[in-house]
Amino acid sequence: MGYPTKYAYNATNFAVHQYCVLCNGNGSYTGAPARILYEDANNPMENILRWDRRAVCRVPDGQTGNNGINLDFDIALGASRPVKALGLMGMLKNPSSAYPMQWQAYYIANPTYNPANFVQFFTQSQSWTAERDIIKELTATVNNVRYVRFRFLNITLADWFEIGKFFVGALIEPTPTGIMYTPGSSRNPLLARSRVETVDGAPWTAELGPTRHVFHYVFTRANECLKEDMVVLSQELKPFLLQYAGTGAFYECVMVPDGFSCQHIWGYSNDPSLNTDIWDIEIEMESLY
């Protein structure tokens, strides 16, 4: 596996916090960009502030930019936040659009909203092709971020596309990271298909939806710290973000029923703080579309 396995809880995504505000078209934020032209009333811009990726903001065909040829989404985070990773989640575009879309992210580290003060997170624009979830990490944490702007560049070239939500926060890398490379872990396709037989007995298969994935991790001889990390993750009710170590791709996942087990292997102290207990752990989750 070429990448460390990382994850992030929904609660640590500052872009869907309860105090977040969409600045677009809001008179309280002087100079904020306009709302989407031809906005879909059933899929409005405010949906990007919700944790549920199925509540999308739909950008329709024929959209023009709200900042020249670019389309900007400005979000007030409600407090000063440390940011180490940013991205797009629950993305979907017209399948006939073959070209990659370019995007960029900006921030203001000041309590006062002033569009002239936005600074780029990335030195270069980022590319989105067809991933449902794309996350980019910064080389260093940016502290005291109060406002973020996600910009889709040259929007006049785009067909329709949908945004589930944005990611603003940081990724967690379990400790010790080497435990993520133990044998037995797997990623298996979860096919949405129906298989029946015709009257003459020939099999017939229909594709009912996109392929998802089931991730099964086996952690052998894990220490107390990693065990506690996985216990917390296994109890998460809302979807969480996972980076798959095999490819580095990101998926938003939920735990499968009864998807966690741990077995105590060895320990020589009754004090958990000494971190001497050793565990075998298995955890299983499935990706969302």
17 with 64, same domain: the answer is yes
> Does 16 score more than 60 pLDDT?
yes
pLDDT at 273 over 70: no
Task: Give, as one character, the DSSP assignment of residue 30.
Answer: T
| Average pLDDT score over residue span 120-138 | 92
Q: Are residues 45 and 155 in the same domain?
A: yes
Asked whether residue 206 carries a pLDDT value surpassing 60, the answer given is yes
- 197, 203 Cβ separation under 8 angstroms: yes
Number of domains present in the structure of the chain: 2
152 and 183 in one domain? Answer: no
Place of tokens 């990390």: 229
CA 138 to CA 141: how far, in whole Å? 7
Alpha-carbon gap, residue 158 to 152, rounded angstroms: 10
Which positions ≥6 away from 269 have C-beta within 8 Å? 276, 277
Per the model's pLDDT, the better-predicted residue between 106 and 247 turns out to be 106
Q: Which residue has tokens 């973000």?
A: 241
- Residue 70, pLDDT > 60, answer yes
Are 211 and 108 in a shared domain? Answer: no
What digits encode the pLDDT tens for the residues 209-248? 888 999 998 888 888 888 888 899 899 999 999 998 778 8
Q: Are residues 126 and 58 in the same domain?
A: yes
Q: Which range, 24-33, 150-159, 259-268, has the best average confidence (pLDDT)? A: 24-33
Helix, strand, coil percentages in the chain from 3-state DSSP, rounded to 5: 10, 45, 40
Q: How confident is the model at residue 275, as a pLDDT?
A: 66
Is residue 93 located within the same domain as residue 212?
Answer: no
pTM, two decimals, is: 0.88
For residue 2, tell me if it sits in a domain.
no
Q: Are residues 29 and 143 in the same domain?
A: yes
Tell me which of 169, 204, 228 is where a domain ends. Answer: 169
pLDDT (mean) for 36-42: 91
Any domain includes 4: no
Residues 156 and 25 both lie in one domain: yes
- Find the CATH number of the domain harbouring 152: 2.60.120.260
Polymer length in residues for the chain? 289
Return the structure tokens found at 24.
């677009």
One domain for residues 109 and 206: no
Give the DSSP letter string of 59-101.
E-TT---SBTTBEEEEEEEEEEEEEEEEEEES-EE-TT--SPE
The three state secondary structure string of 203-251 is: EEEEECCCCEEEEEEEEEEEEHHHHHHHHHHHCCCCCEEEECCCCCCEE
Q: How much is the pLDDT for 1?
A: 45
User: Is 21 contained in some domain?
Assistant: yes
Q: Is the residue at 143 inside a domain?
A: yes
Residues 163 and 41 in one domain: yes
| Residue whose structure tokens are 């944490």 | 141
Where does a domain end: 124, 142, 169? 169
The domain in which residue 268 lies consists of 177-287
Q: Does one domain contain both 191 and 246?
A: yes
For residue 113, tell me if it sits in a domain.
yes
At 186 the pLDDT is: 87
Dihedral (CA of 196, 198, 204, 205) sign = negative
pLDDT digits (tens, 9 = 90+) for 139-184: 999 999 999 999 999 887 778 899 999 999 999 887 554 444 567 8
What residue type is 49 in one-letter code? L
| 93 and 137 within one domain | yes
- Percent of the chain scored above 90 by pLDDT? 59
